[in-house]
């Protein structure tokens, strides 16, 4: 009679090692009876193949980083394009230099104050729902800027935009920390932050084109 059993255990990588044991009883040469201690056994270690970490990180990078970089480019353009718009906007809305400066700088007031509360909400909601909410919110706030009629409404629109964008950057940094190990995390964050010079390169031509079309 052949006895077979399998024993599973976790190794240091978290993978399961399966040991399949087969035992064949044999008759004792002296007595002709089966001897319980006279067995032959075969142990086979079956270790699942470990995934290639570099290929996993490469796939994650190509799926996450281009989209996050593009979103940060849009976010950065939203906060700085008011400088280009001021060339015509100040005259249309009869804004003084002081009123324009207050309205422009008010963005960073709510952007600063709302970052910590926004990140707490992010931890509760998760990345998928949180991104859907803040992207919709800042799109609406940015679109609402087209309907401002004076310094007060412009300041309100900028305050709302700052609050809407406050949760994006810290959420992305936390999210990258979950996907990338510490030894490659700085590289992933650096790719994400390339959005700032890209936005500076594209911002002026796009704003000028938009103003000319308008």
**Each residue's pLDDT tens digit, 176-206:** 999 999 999 999 999 999 998 898 888 777 7
Q: Considering the entire predicted model, what is its pTM?
A: 0.71
Question: For the residues 132-146, what does the mean pLDDT come to?
Answer: 92
Rounded to whole angstroms, how far apart are CA atoms 35 and 211?
95
- Residue 47 above 70 pLDDT? no
Determine how many CB atoms are found less than 10 A away from the CB of residue 176.
20
pLDDT > 70: what percent of the chain? 74
The two three-digit tokens of residue 85, written as one number? 């718009």
Q: How far from 114 is each of 11, 111, 118, 164, 205, CA to CA, in Å?
A: 44, 6, 6, 9, 31
Rounded to whole angstroms, how far apart are CA atoms 103 and 87?
15
């Amino acid at each position: 009679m052949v006895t077979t059993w399998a024993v599973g255990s976790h190794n240091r990588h978290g993978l399961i090692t399966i040991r399949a044991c087969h035992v064949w009883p044999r008759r004792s040469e002296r007595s002709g009876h089966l001897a319980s201690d006279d067995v032959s056994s075969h142990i086979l270690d079956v270790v699942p193949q470990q995934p290639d970490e570099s290929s996993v990180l490469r796939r994650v990078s190509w799926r996450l980083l281009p989209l996050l970089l593009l979103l940060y480019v849009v976010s950065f353009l939203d906060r700085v394009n008011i400088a280009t718009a001021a060339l015509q906007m100040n005259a249309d809305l009869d804004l003084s230099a002081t009123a324009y400066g207050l309205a422009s700088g008010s963005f960073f007031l709510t952007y600063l104050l709302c970052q910590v509360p926004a990140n707490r909400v992010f931890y509760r909601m998760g990345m998928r729902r949180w991104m859907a909410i803040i992207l919709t919110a800042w799109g609406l706030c940015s679109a609402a800027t087209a309907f401002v009629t004076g310094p007060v409404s412009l300041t309100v629109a900028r305050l709302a935009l700052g609050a809407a964008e406050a949760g994006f950057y810290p959420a992305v940094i936390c999210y990258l920390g979950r996907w990338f190990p510490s030894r490659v995390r700085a590289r992933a964050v650096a790719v994400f932050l390339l959005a700032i010079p890209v936005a500076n390169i594209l911002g002026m031509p796009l704003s000028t084109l938009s103003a000319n079309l308008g």
